[in-house]
Amino acid sequence: MVTHFKVSGHLACGHKGDNLTSTRELNRVKCRSCRNTDAYKEARKDQRNAARRASRKAKVTPTATDWRQDWTERLTALPGLQRLPRGFTDQPFV
């Protein structure tokens, strides 16, 4: 059975009928005419962009911004005296 893309109460391809199956889910649309419309292509593009934005947000970690504290903790965990790198006020031993 062919599934059409429904946009604001109408089918994107222009077909009419009471027994036609329609959906708003882009992956379930099987009608080639619907898939070739500007409405479907725009919805598909928006879905891809939203997925890309979500994946970029997921990659950002809050610990990446506090690298100085992480570095100090790493040197403190090492055995013996370790000198902090330049830029860490007077480079004390940890």
pLDDT at position 37 is: 94
| Cβ neighbour number for residue 94 with a 10 Å cutoff | 17
Q: Per-residue pLDDT averaged across 17-25, rounded?
A: 90
User: CB-side exposure of 33: number of CA atoms within 13 Å?
Assistant: 10
Q: Report pLDDT digits (tens) over 27-57.
A: 999 999 999 999 999 999 999 999 999 988 8
Structural domain includes residue 49: yes
Number of domains in the chain: 1
Structural domain includes residue 69: no
Q: Give the domain range for residue 14.
A: 3-59
In the DSSP assignment, the letter for residue 85 is P
Lowest mean pLDDT among 10-19, 22-31, 58-67: 58-67
Q: Per-residue pLDDT averaged across 54-71, rounded?
A: 73
pLDDT at 67 over 70: yes
Structural domain includes residue 70: no
pLDDT at position 31 is: 93
Structural domain includes residue 75: no
